[in-house]
């Protein structure tokens, strides 16, 4: 049942679990817990319902659902020194389904080495690549692409399953003009840009077809709201969702036998009537699933964090833990755009209202056409080769291993409509480059003790100079990719940046281009990092229980100690699935 105000929730309800945040991981966990009809769960979600939000449903409209909409938390960062002091947008889903309702839908599992590194950091082998396979299988529901094209050679079926909950498919609309050139270049430059038939096998290096969290049978986004809270599940009487409910503080409800503060209560408001606050209590556990930005923010508001910070805000300290909100890692991204010799790019419909309306009608009536996909049909996962002398200087190679990427290509048949101001006549091709094993770290800290004020968000991009170096290497690499014979009649020239900045220029012009154009690819993690039991750092134990308190777990991407070299939504689903398993085992059930 989805409620829109607390007064409608039967006040006699006894909730075993209260989950703060109906996002990617939170909804996954709620689904798994409520498989047991004796467990009653309440999700508190600050955003509205996802029902009827067209911009969230249509994959090609992903760029409209944020920023600065009712479905985004509408955050910006503090000025980034290394980005010429620019503040950049920092979107997060503010809608049922959380960021899975607003993201770009790329479905990537990353490199097995990233997961093995999590197991080694947390000293818990249940987080390694082999162990998480069962959660990947529970999550993934493979579907045929919307256009039913022959997908032989575009993925390897042995790594996929149709038995899970969350739909995944290959692109359902092909752009031959670009797709064929990309694949041809993996043959022409097989050493530097090898083809990878399935980047979700655990060995992700190379260039291949992207898989997306899109249901090929409908051409619609699959989010944690449409899947784990889909009609089949939301009808469970023990699965309760309250939207418009924003948690402002966790409430201490007692002291555990071993003397820790027991945190089973949560204070929240209805976002439409914020003057009045409510409190609800979990009888078994309270779960924080508010995401990498809001989870540490709520902890700090509740007195769990760095005591110097909390005292400066006059917040009573319950647990002094300086790790809360620190260690943020995220992927910086740069758009690199070229003029293309083609009329068959995203720009065609962007400039022709009739064509755009026909495409929407096609999506609406048949679930087919160009709107069934996000913007890339291919991704590449690449490394700075060992042959590049002295690249890392005195910094240790930050990738999780030799089979893990340093940087990524996101290859798009045009400039993403609406994202860039460009001349009205040209057509484009773009390769976004991202640093996917970054060394830099940032933070999320309270700005004021007002729970409704945004925290200070600092992704710390390029604080470690080597990340900037990787980005420049990645852009030069994209230029080499497009120097292949397949592009000779196609790519006209690079689009310059502002002022004297350009990707086609010398090193200092390129560096300025990078500083002026770096954005986030929206992948922050690590602000409530897991660490071994008893470690002197970290926020949660490997079973996701918050250190120093009782009754509270964190189940979202903030627990990953390092951002994976991947688009991380699958990691959030895995965390939700694994938490369900761990909690059920702790309860002694199945």
Ligand X SMILES: Cc1cc2nc3c(=O)[nH]c(=O)nc-3n(C[C@H](O)[C@H](O)[C@H](O)COP(=O)(O)OP(=O)(O)OC[C@H]3O[C@@H](n4cnc5c(N)ncnc54)[C@H](O)[C@@H]3O)c2cc1C
- The annotation places the binding site at 568-569
User: Should residue 45 be labelled a site residue for ligand X when binding is judged by CB under 6 A?
Assistant: yes
Nearby residues of 411 by Cβ (< 8 Å), 6 or more positions away: 178, 182, 207, 376, 377, 378, 379, 380, 430, 431
Nearby residues of 588 by Cβ (< 8 Å), 6 or more positions away: none
User: Should residue 66 be labelled a site residue for ligand X when binding is judged by CB under 6 A?
Assistant: yes
User: Should residue 167 be labelled a site residue for ligand X when binding is judged by CB under 6 A?
Assistant: no
DSSP 315: P
- Name the residue whose CB lies closest to ligand X: 23
User: Should residue 569 be labelled a site residue for ligand X when binding is judged by CB under 6 A?
Assistant: yes
First to last CA, the chain: 24
In the complex, what is the shortest distance from the CB of residue 404 to ligand X, in angstroms, rounded to a whole number?
16
Stretch that binds ligand X, among 29-37, 38-46, 123-131, 459-467 (CB under 6 A): 38-46
Nearby residues of 265 by Cβ (< 8 Å), 6 or more positions away: 250, 251, 252, 253, 279, 280, 281, 282, 286
In the complex, what is the shortest distance from the CB of residue 376 to ligand X, in angstroms, rounded to a whole number?
9
Nearer CB in complex with ligand X: 57/572:
572
In the complex, what is the shortest distance from the CB of residue 94 to ligand X, in angstroms, rounded to a whole number?
5
User: Should residue 44 be labelled a site residue for ligand X when binding is judged by CB under 6 A?
Assistant: yes
Nearby residues of 350 by Cβ (< 8 Å), 6 or more positions away: 356, 414, 417, 418
User: Should residue 92 be labelled a site residue for ligand X when binding is judged by CB under 6 A?
Assistant: yes
Among 42, 83, 102, 136, binds ligand X (CB under 6 A): 102
Question: What is the rounded CA–CA span in Å between residue 339 and residue 341?
Answer: 7
The answer to whether 523 is a known catalytic residue is yes
In the complex, what is the shortest distance from the CB of residue 147 to ligand X, in angstroms, rounded to a whole number?
21
Nearer CB in complex with ligand X: 64/476:
64
Residues in 447-506 at the binding interface with ligand X, rule: CB under 6 A: none
Q: Please report, to the nearest 10 degrees, the dihedral formed by the alpha carbons of residues 285, 137, 99, 280 taken in order.
A: -20
User: Should residue 118 be labelled a site residue for ligand X when binding is judged by CB under 6 A?
Assistant: no
Chain-centre distance for alpha carbon 564: 10
Report which secondary-structure segment, H or E, holds 33: helix 24-33
User: Should residue 103 be labelled a site residue for ligand X when binding is judged by CB under 6 A?
Assistant: yes
Nearer CB in complex with ligand X: 99/359:
99
Q: How far is CA 28 from CA 21, 72, 410, 498, 578, in A?
A: 11, 20, 28, 43, 10
User: Should residue 560 be labelled a site residue for ligand X when binding is judged by CB under 6 A?
Assistant: no
Among 20, 53, 446, 549, binds ligand X (CB under 6 A): 20
Residues in 375-434 at the binding interface with ligand X, rule: CB under 6 A: none
Stretch that binds ligand X, among 90-98, 159-167, 352-360, 364-372 (CB under 6 A): 90-98
Query: Residues 230-269: x/- map of binding to ligand X (CB under 6 A)?
Result: ----------------xx----------------------
The answer, yes or no, to whether the previous bond of 534 is cis (omega within 30 of 0) is no
User: Should residue 91 be labelled a site residue for ligand X when binding is judged by CB under 6 A?
Assistant: yes
Check: CB of residue 474 under 8 Å from CB of residue 407: yes
- The site that binds ligand X (CB under 6 A) totals a number of residues, namely 40
Q: Which candidate, 295, 251, 330, 250, places its Cα nearest to that of 455?
A: 295
User: Should residue 23 be labelled a site residue for ligand X when binding is judged by CB under 6 A?
Assistant: yes
Residues in 286-315 at the binding interface with ligand X, rule: CB under 6 A: 289-292, 294, 298
Stretch that binds ligand X, among 77-85, 101-109, 113-121, 452-460 (CB under 6 A): 101-109
Query: Which of 160, 378, 406, 523 is an active site residue?
Result: 523
Binding-site members for FAD are: 568-569
Question: What is the rounded CA–CA span in Å between residue 510 and residue 181?
Answer: 26
Check: CB of residue 566 under 8 Å from CB of residue 436: yes
Q: How far is CA 341 from CA 388, 410, 488, in A?
A: 33, 20, 10
Burial class of residue 277, CB neighbours in 10 A (0-12, 13-18, 19+): middle
Among 25, 136, 546, 582, binds ligand X (CB under 6 A): 25
Question: What is the rounded CA–CA span in Å between residue 155 and residue 201?
Answer: 9
Helix, strand, coil abundance in the chain, percent, nearest 5: 30, 25, 50
Nearer CB in complex with ligand X: 484/542:
542
In the complex, what is the shortest distance from the CB of residue 114 to ligand X, in angstroms, rounded to a whole number?
13
Stretch that binds ligand X, among 89-97, 132-140, 317-325, 365-373 (CB under 6 A): 89-97
Nearer CB in complex with ligand X: 291/414:
291
Question: What is the rounded CA–CA span in Å between residue 580 and residue 590?
Answer: 10
User: Should residue 551 be labelled a site residue for ligand X when binding is judged by CB under 6 A?
Assistant: no
In the complex, what is the shortest distance from the CB of residue 538 to ligand X, in angstroms, rounded to a whole number?
17
Nearer CB in complex with ligand X: 34/289:
289
- CB count within 10 Å of CB 460 equals 22
Stretch that binds ligand X, among 42-50, 167-175, 339-347, 418-426 (CB under 6 A): 42-50
- CB count within 10 Å of CB 67 equals 17
Q: What are the two backbone dihedrals, phi and then psi, of residue 472, each rounded to the nearest 5 degrees? A: -65, -40
Active site residues: 523, 567
Contacts to ligand X by CB under 6 A: 20-26, 44-47, 66, 91-94, 98-100, 102-106, 246-247, 289-292, 294, 298, 522-523, 556-557, 567-569, 572
């Amino acid at each position: 049942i989805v409620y829109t105000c607390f007064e409608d929730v039967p006040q006699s309800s006894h909730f075993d679990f209260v989950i703060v945040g109906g996002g990617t991981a939170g909804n996954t966990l709620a689904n798994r817990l409520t498989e047991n009809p004796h467990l009653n769960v309440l999700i508190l979600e600050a955003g509205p319902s996802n029902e009827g939000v067209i911009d969230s449903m249509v994959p090609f409209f992903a760029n409209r659902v944020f920023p600065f909409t009712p479905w985004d938390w509408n955050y910006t960062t503090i000025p980034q020194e290394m980005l010429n002091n620019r503040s950049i947008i920092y979107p997060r889903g503010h809608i049922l389904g959380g960021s899975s309702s607003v993201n770009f839908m790329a479905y990537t599992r990353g490199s097995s080495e990233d997961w093995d590194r999590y197991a080694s950091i947390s000293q818990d082998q249940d987080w390694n690549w082999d162990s998480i396979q069962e959660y990947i299988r529970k999550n993934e529901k493979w579907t045929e692409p919307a256009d039913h094209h022959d997908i032989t050679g575009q993925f390897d079926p042995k790594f996929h399953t149709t038995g899970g909950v969350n739909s995944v498919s290959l692109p359902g609309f092909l752009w031959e003009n670009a797709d064929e050139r990309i694949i041809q270049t993996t043959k022409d430059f097989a050493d530097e840009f090898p083809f990878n038939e399935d980047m979700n096998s655990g060995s992700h290096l190379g260039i291949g077809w992207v898989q997306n969290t899109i249901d090929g049978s409908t051409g619609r986004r699959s989010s944690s709201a449409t899947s784990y809270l889909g009609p089949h599940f939301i009808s469970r009487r023990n699965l309760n969702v309250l939207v418009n409910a924003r948690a402002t503080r966790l409430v201490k409800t007692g002291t555990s036998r071993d003397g820790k503060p027991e945190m089973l209560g949560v204070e929240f408001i209805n976002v439409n009537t914020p003057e009045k606050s409510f409190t609800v209590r979990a009888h078994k556990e309270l779960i924080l699933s508010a995401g990498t930005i809001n989870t540490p923010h709520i902890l700090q508001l509740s007195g769990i964090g760095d005591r110097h910070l909390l005292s400066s805000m006059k917040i009573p300290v319950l647990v002094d833990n300086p790790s809360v909100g620190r260690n943020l890692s995220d992927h910086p991204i740069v758009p690199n755009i070229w003029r293309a010799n083609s009329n068959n790019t995203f720009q065609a419909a962007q400039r022709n209202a009739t064509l755009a309306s026909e495409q929407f009608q096609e999506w609406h009536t048949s679930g087919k056409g160009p709107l069934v996909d996000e913007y890339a049909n291919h991704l590449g996962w690449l490394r700075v080769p060992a042959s590049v002398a002295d690249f890392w200087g005195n910094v240790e190679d930050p990738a999780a291993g030799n089979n893990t990427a340093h940087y990524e290509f996101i290859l798009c048949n045009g400039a993403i409509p609406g994202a860039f101001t460009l001349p009205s006549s040209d057509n484009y091709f773009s390769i976004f480059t991202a640093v996917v094993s970054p060394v830099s770290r940032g933070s999320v800290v309270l700005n004021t003790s007002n729970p409704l004020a945004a925290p200070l968000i600092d992704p710390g991009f390029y604080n470690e100079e080597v990340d900037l170096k990787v980005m420049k290497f990645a852009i030069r690499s994209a230029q080499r990719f497009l120097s292949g014979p397949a592009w000779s009649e196609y790519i006209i020239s690079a689009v310059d940046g502002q002022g004297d900045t350009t990707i086609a220029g010398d090193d200092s012009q390129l560096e300025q281009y990078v500083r002026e154009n770096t954005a986030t690819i929206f992948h922050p993690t690590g602000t409530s990092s897991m660490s071994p039991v008893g470690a002197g750092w970290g926020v949660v134990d490997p079973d996701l229980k918050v250190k120093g308190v009782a009754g509270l777990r964190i189940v979202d991407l903030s627990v990953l100690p390092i951002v994976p070299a991947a688009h991380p939504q699958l990691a959030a689903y895995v965390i939700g699935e694994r938490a369900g398993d761990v909690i059920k085992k702790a309860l002694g059930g199945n």
